[in-house]
Amino acid sequence: MVAAFGIHLHFQALEQMLLERHPELAGRVYFNSAGPQMYLRVKLSGDRGAGLAMVRLGHTFVWLLVDPVLDSEPSVWPLNATPDEVLVDALHAHASAHLTGVPVASPWRWHESEPSDMTELADLLVEQGVRVRRVAAGNTYFPCGPRHELELHIAGGSEGAYVEAEFPGAFVRVSVKPSVGWLVDVHCPEWGAWGRVDLGYSLWRRELPTPGVPRADVSVSQVADLIARGPETWVESGAPWEPTRPSCASAELPSDMQGSLFVMSVTEPDCAPRPLGIVELAEAVLEQLTAFGFGDVREGGSDSPIHSDAYHIEWNTRTKDLSTSDIQRLNGLAAAAGEDIPKRLIVISRGGISRPAAAFADRAKAFVYRLDPATGKLFPLNSRADELLPPSVEPDKYYVEPW
């Protein structure tokens, strides 16, 4: 009862604030306090209206703003982290757009309260005829699933801020990551997975050794022009990598290979997966680094299976977590490995890493991965490496289904 009364007072405050900030809506604002669902509504023509309610999506209570357009995606805002001013201004933006017969103004049309590089990019793409599906910058809450049973998706972590757009036969995510800058990932039917666009070749026809492009090196309008030209004009870093399904083998490993970084014996009844050999693991690592966007990695020689002019690649065979002193030592070896300029560090490890060591690796602009010796898959161990992972969900898996 106390909670319901508090919600009632909150809606009354929202109604008063809406009328004070946007007095032109007087006579159209209606607060429904009866029934199981309270909501604030701005009446439009006929039975149409824009509404704001407090609802539960899954296990989380959120603010839900419904636009009168039938197939529009509802706008979802965090319950306790969204100022009342943002809620009433968002409701006003959607209502006034329909009253005046114009599109919802940016940044509100993207469910954002402040302009940003991402809202600017979305606006520029729309101007060039590209269908923008989502913007994630300040507001990372999104609805997904069937309209009668919406679920909540929360973007964040290593995803950074991003814009998602759709082309015939392709889906693209343009993101800005804190450490590596601009990244572009594309999902197309022939791959059935996310692949990365080589921004160096796509923008300037030159090889970039490090994934991504720093924000200062390319403008939002340049990125928009590149995306608007379409997937057929982009250059991919490499095909998406998928782990090889282990084959069965009854033979035991040679004693000199047991316990190394490159192989792992798996014992199962009847049939044990054949462990990957040195060459197979090196190929898997090379393919993944290429797919991440490391532009100058290539097959190496007997001293090192992977070569790079910009990076020193260190293979750590110990299962013990890497310490800060370990990363400092390896970073020094990487710097000394460069002929004219110091090299940066990539670590491929069998073990994990301590939190302070991961933080130092980030400051040193290093990339640290744990290698699964059974499949060849790389798992990021520091934030910079984590930022290079492709999107974790398939397109349309977290959008609201149309009517």
CATH code at 312?
Answer: 3.40.1350
Give the C-alpha separation, 194 to 188, whole Å: 7
pLDDT band at 273 (very low <50, low <70, confident <90, very high): low
Mark whether 397 and 372 lie in a shared domain.
no
Is residue 144 in some structural domain?
no
- 87 shares a domain with 23: yes
Q: Are 119 and 235 found together in one domain?
A: yes
231 and 313 in a single domain? The answer is no
Q: Is residue 92 part of a domain?
A: yes
Amino acid 283 reads: E
Q: Taking residues 189-213, report their average pLDDT.
A: 91
Alpha-carbon 224 to chain mean position: 18
- At residue 392, the pLDDT reads 86
Report how far residue 352's alpha carbon sits from residue 384's, in angstroms, rounded to the nearest whole number.
15
In this predicted structure, what is the pLDDT of residue 386?
96
- Residue 41 falls inside a structural domain: yes
| Domain shared by 35 and 51, yes or no | yes
**Is the preceding omega at residue 189 within 30 degrees of 0, hence cis?**
no
Residue ending a domain, choose from 87, 105, 123: 105
Instruction: Give one word for 33, left, alpha or beta, with left for phi > 0 and alpha for psi -120 to 50.
Output: alpha
Identify whether 282 is part of a domain. yes
Query: Does residue 80 form part of some domain?
Result: yes
Do 269 and 208 share a domain, yes or no?
Answer: no
pLDDT above 70: residue 266? no
Rg (CA), the chain: 26
Tell which wins on pLDDT, 110 or 34.
110
- pLDDT tens per residue across span 321-374: 999 999 999 999 999 999 889 999 999 999 999 999 999 999 999 999 999 999
Answer whether residue 313 is part of any domain.
Answer: yes
Do 391 and 355 share a structural domain?
Answer: no
Please count the structural domains in the chain: 3
Looking at the fold, whether 228 and 164 belong to one and the same domain comes out as yes
Q: Which residues contact 96 (CB under 8 A, 6 or more apart)?
A: 22, 24, 25
> What beta strand segments (E) does 287-377 contain?
298-299, 306-307, 311-316, 344-349, 367-371
Would you say residue 145 lies in a domain?
no
Residues 307 and 344 in one domain: yes
Nearest to 155 by CA among 147, 163, 165: 163
Domain shared by 88 and 129, yes or no: no
Residue 293 CA to its chain's centroid (Å):
16
**Which domain, by its residues, includes 91?**
1-105
- In this structure, are 100 and 116 located in the same domain? no
Q: 148 lies in a domain? A: no
User: Distance between CA 43 and CA 29 in Å, rounded?
Assistant: 6
